Amino acid sequence: DQQVKQNSPSLSVQEGRISILNCDYTNSMFDYFLWYKKYPAEGPTFLISISSIKDKNEDGRFTVFLNKSAKHLSLHIVPSQPGDSAVYFCAASSSNTGKLIFGQGTTLQVKP
C-alpha cells in the first residue's frame, strides 16, 4: 500500500525553464508534506514543506502547491539550474509521530 506516490521516475528540462515535480498521496490525515533533494552519496537535503492547511508555500526558487481535494502536491523550481539535477523525494508526515513516508523519487536532469 503506497501511501505516497511519485509517478514520474524522471524529468528532463532545459536550464532557465520551470521544473514541475508531482506527488500524490492517499492518507488525508497527513499534517505536512516535505520535499527533499538527494545526491547518490549523500543524505537527503530538506528543501521546503507545506502544512495541510495551506495551499501554497514559497521559498526562493522553490514553490510547493497542495491540492487537498485531489490529494496532490507539486514542487515548482523556477528557474531551473544544472545544479538542481538530483533525485527529488516527496514525503508526508503526521505531526504527532514525525514519521516520514516517502515517495519513490523523481530524477531531475536540468540541461545547460
Summarize as ranges the residues that interact with other proteins (CB under 8 A). 31-32, 34, 36, 41-46, 49, 51, 89, 91, 93-105
User: What gap in Å lies between CA 37 and CA 99, rounded to an integer?
Assistant: 18
Say which residue the cell 515548482 belongs to: 76
Which residue lies nearer to other proteins by CB, 57 or 79? 57
Which residue lies nearer to other proteins by CB, 15 or 31? 31
Tell me the closest approach of the beta carbon of residue 105 to other proteins, in angstroms. Answer: 6
Phi then psi for residue 83, to 5 deg, are -70, -10
Is the Cβ–Cβ distance between 8 and 62 less than 8 Å?
no
Which residue lies nearer to other proteins by CB, 70 or 99? 99
